Amino acid sequence: MLRFFISRLSTFFVTFVGVTLISFAFIRVIPGDPIIVMAGERGMSQERYEELSRQYGFDQPVLTQFWDYLTGVLQGDLGQSFVTKKPVWDEFFALFPATLELSLCAIILAIALGIPAGVIAAVNRGKFFDRALMSSALVGYSMPIFWWALLLIIVFSGNLGWTPVSGRMGLLYYFPTPTGFMLIDSLLSGQSGAFVSAVQHLILPTIVLATIPLAVIARQTRSAMLEVLSEDYIRTARAKGLKPWRINGLHALRNAMIPVITVIGLSVGTLLAGAILTETIFSWPGIGKWMVDSIFRRDYPVVQGGLLLVAVVVMIVNLIVDMLYGLINPRIRTRK
């Protein structure tokens, strides 16, 4: 078990250095000199250019630059935004709770609907429910979510007026945000209606972001359940005369969960990619929108740092899922 953890950790560090190398290379392969880009249209004097070159370390050999970058990263120094002049690290962690809140709500919705849908489909294999659920899952899986978001806005915000179009909180409310999670902060603020407003703002983005993971989880649960339901021990359970809900719910589902948990872990990348589109459409002030805005503003240190931090988040979640998986399923540990 210890060897398994050590081997996973060493892979993690190799990948981390590689990811750092890619984000380091980013600012050096973009067309144009980053310092001239930073100066904007006004340009700058030769002395100022050299001063900034020194400040950013561009006059050093590349290897030295990478070493400085890597040690900086490990100390939480990702440089400053060209636009706001604030450290990238601080900006990331100020916005991260917004993305985390949205992603958590989305994955909870996807699990809460996806697993029951998959189980119902598997138990009713070939019947109407199975066909209806799996057709919907395939449509969800094929959905261009940016279009889906626009459709929901047309119907629920435009025609019905039930939900707001953008943002995280109504303009009427203002309160401190110690946790960064609107659902919690609005409750802590004690302002009446603030929590409801937070929920209303969350509904549409959550549905949009949950769509693809929901479809994937439902499909995966169905196929895992079908595989398990044909096993001998299920037949034994049936022969013992156990109630169907007990067989499906306890005996089958528990063993079918292993591949489903993997899929849930893997959907972190999907969620973060989906957050780019969802946050842009709903003006949700999170990491995805921040990255897109920075790319358009040519705020290269932000793009560079954001890219690295997002990758590290994905890697950490994958590492945790891997280790949990090793704990649940001993066969994985010995596999190379």
Partner 1 sequence: MTDMTEVAITAPKRPGRLAEFWQYFSENRGAVIGMWTFAILVLLALLADFIAPHSATEQFREATLQPPVWQEGGSWTFPLGTDPLGRDMLSRLLYGARFSFFVGMVVVVIAATGGILLGLVAGFAPKWLDTVIMRLMDIILSFPSLLLALVLVAILGPSLLNAMIAISIVLQPHYVRLTRAAVINERTRDYVVSARVAGAKLPRLMFVTVLPNCLAPIIVQAALSFSNAILDVAALGFLGMGAQPPTPEWGTMLAEAREFILRAWWVVTLPGLAILITVLSINLMGDGLRDALDPKLKRS
- Give the footprint of partner 1 on this chain (CB under 8 A): 11, 14-15, 18-19, 22, 26, 29-31, 135, 138-139, 141-144, 146-148, 150-151, 153-154, 158, 269-270, 272-274, 276-277, 280, 291-292, 295-296, 303, 307, 310-311, 314-315, 318
The closest of 113, 25, 34, 110 to 69, measured between CA atoms, is: 25
For residue 171, what is the DSSP state?
T
Q: Write down the least CB distance from residue 321 to partner 1, Å.
A: 13
- Give the burial class of 230: count Cβ atoms within 10 A of its Cβ; 0-12 exposed, 13-18 middle, 19 or more buried: exposed
- Give the burial class of 23: count Cβ atoms within 10 A of its Cβ; 0-12 exposed, 13-18 middle, 19 or more buried: buried
CA dist 69 and 53 (Å) reads 15
Residue 295: HSE in the Cβ half-sphere, 13 Å Cα cutoff: 10
Name residue 293's amino acid. D
Contact predicate 137/150, CB 8 Å: no
Name residue 104's amino acid. L
Using the minimum distance from each CB to partner 1, give the nearer residue, 30 or 44: 30
CA dist 153 and 233 (Å) reads 48
CA dist 152 and 205 (Å) reads 9
